[in-house]
A = this chain, B = another copy of it.
């Protein structure tokens, strides 16, 4: 799957991922109204609105992009119907041949991590059957609990040829509270980065590892250091656009082969129609605005990479 991700990035020339993190207030009124007419102002109604919104965004962007990243929290808040919309979104994106990164940030003691791994990237045994539950291609993981919270994911991913991105340095303002604490004079996130590199060494694709990292676009200097610590790990970079990151900040997240990083934007794309810049599309044409925002993002990043050569 890391080879597929790399190949798709090369083919689309778009080292980006579209974050499918729909908040209800991003969803145009006409979609919400139609869903509420059918299902009422219920969890089912909200889930239907989310699904219809996602589908239209995917239909209008899938040919331009290698990958999507649904953030499961945005679905989980609508309970079971919300998670059904998550699952439908995962399935639909895979049908469109997109690489699906489940942004789940899980991590727990060994047997529990094994259950998460089984549910999200593996198959669960029920009697004689082995059944895939959520079936994403990659997941994001939280490393706070240490190596034995990660190994079960590595085991399952090896079997399924799937992969993971482990939180190293996150994009949010408070990420430094613990991640930046100095351990023997070096920030904790560097130690985590070293572990990611080490875990990944034994689980390589053709040129990159199945074990990647999350490093926020909002911390470009740290990204530069971490790029060197984890040369074979793909870096998933959140924080572009709405959170403040720009193309020029991202140059050092990439390797000299022009690969090794994939930049996420969520709001900046899926709610592009709300920005002044794309207002001319109108609410009805929100997915065309998303497509234009994808094109602008790709141009911004590729331009920055070109300028840095």
Contacts and interface: CB of A to CB of B under 8 A. Distances in A.
A196 B142 CA distance: 19
Which of the listed residues A109, A113, A143 has the most CB atoms from chain B within 10 Å of its own CB? A109
Nearest to A243: B109
Contacts of A7: none
A80 interface: yes
23 contacts: A23-B111, A24-B125, A42-B129, A43-B126, A45-B127, A73-B108, A73-B112, A73-B113, A76-B116, A77-B119, A78-B133, A79-B131, A109-B172, A109-B238, A109-B243, A110-B172, A142-B142, A144-B144, A146-B170, A146-B176, A146-B177, A178-B192, A188-B188
The 4 closest A-B CB pairs, nearest first, are A41-B127, A79-B133, A146-B174, A146-B177
B119 A76 contact: yes
Nearest to A180: B146
Interface in A86-131: 87, 105-113, 115-116, 118-120, 124-129, 131
A172 B133 CA distance: 26
B188 A178 contact: yes
A105 to B, nearest CB: 6
A72 to B, nearest CB: 9
Given A80-B84, A119-B77, A126-B24, A144 B146 contact: no
Given A105-B106, A133-B78, A183-B181, A149 B128 contact: no
Counting every copy of the chain, the complex holds 2
Interface string A219-251: 000000000000000000010000100000000
Interface in A144-162: 144-149
A174 B148 contact: yes
A133 B72 CA distance: 14
Interface of A: 21, 23-24, 32, 36, 41-43, 45-46, 71, 73-74, 76-80, 82-84, 87, 105-113, 115-116, 118-120, 124-129, 131, 133-134, 142-149, 167, 170-179, 181-184, 188, 191-192, 195, 238, 243
A133 B82 CA distance: 9
B80 A43 contact: no
A178 B110 CA distance: 16
A145 B175 contact: yes
Contacts of A23: 111, 115
A23 to B, nearest CB: 8
B167 A144 contact: yes
Given A109-B171, A149-B172, A172-B110, A126 B46 contact: yes
A85 B151 CA distance: 27
A195 B177 contact: yes
Contacts of A188: 178, 181, 183, 188
A142 to B, nearest CB: 5
Contact of A146 (B107, B119, B148, B172): B172
Nearest to A150: B174
Contact of A142 (B107, B184, B195): B107
